[in-house]
Amino acid sequence: MTVDGGEVDGELVGAIRTGDLGTVRRLLAERPGLAGERVGPGGRTPLHVVTDWPGYFPNGPAVVRLLLAAGADPDARGAGGSEETPLHWAASSDDVDVAEALVDGGADIEAGGGSIGTPLANAVGYGCWHVARMLVARGARVETLWQAAALGLSRRVEELMAAVPAPDPVLVTEAFWQACHGGQLRMAAYLLEHGADVDARPGYSASSAVEVAGGPDTRRGVLVSWLREHGAPG
């Protein structure tokens, strides 16, 4: 019996989201090339489906490995004008297990085109600290003061501060805010001593430094939402 391509696409998307490895294997075997096709909403690749927000789909890392073994491109760009790769998406939800599977499969950790920039920029910008630290450990370059400050990389911050005769006070203040975002007390103190404005807010956030310091990171925010969806009080 011939199965309609649209039905196969929908079945694959459903199997990915539920972590049904048997169905994923069967569909990939029945339709060679399926792993590299556009099957999800808006023309997403299967790897984009498994890394879609909010992430943490059952058996996500195993699904990634199946798709890569079947020929999926780990650096495929999104559809509809999006330039984000699957690694950008995994970075933006702090799904470090899936992100590691992508990196192990050859994903470019320096790929540009994300909503903030590289996968590392996305991870730091959205408070996805597990993926951010994994990417740095796997060799991602830390090129900006705000990223280094958020991760508490003291030596790198000092290098970047020393690279210019007079660091831009706006960049120092942004780095201070990001240090607070990342829970980096010593880094925040260092930057405050170097001219950061304790009351300033960056243009991309309405939160003050003290507000962002006390807020949840992305992973905890997703977990809280999941608990509420499952009936947890509060």
pLDDT of residue 4: 43
215 close to 207: Cβ distance less than 8 angstroms: yes
40 close to 49: Cβ distance less than 8 angstroms: yes
Render pLDDT for 136-155 as a digit per residue (tens, 0 to 9).
999 999 999 999 999 999 99
**What gap in Å lies between CA 67 and CA 48, rounded to an integer?**
11
Nearest Cα to Cα of residue 99 among 120, 76, 78 = 120
**What gap in Å lies between CA 29 and CA 20, rounded to an integer?**
15
**What gap in Å lies between CA 11 and CA 34, rounded to an integer?**
12
Nearest Cα to Cα of residue 78 among 34, 31, 41 = 41
Render pLDDT for 33-47 as a digit per residue (tens, 0 to 9).
999 999 978 889 999
User: For the whole model, what pTM was predicted?
Assistant: 0.93
Domains of the chain with bracketed CATH: 142-234 (1.25.40.20)
**What gap in Å lies between CA 172 and CA 195, rounded to an integer?**
7
**Which regions in the chain score pLDDT beneath 50?**
1-4
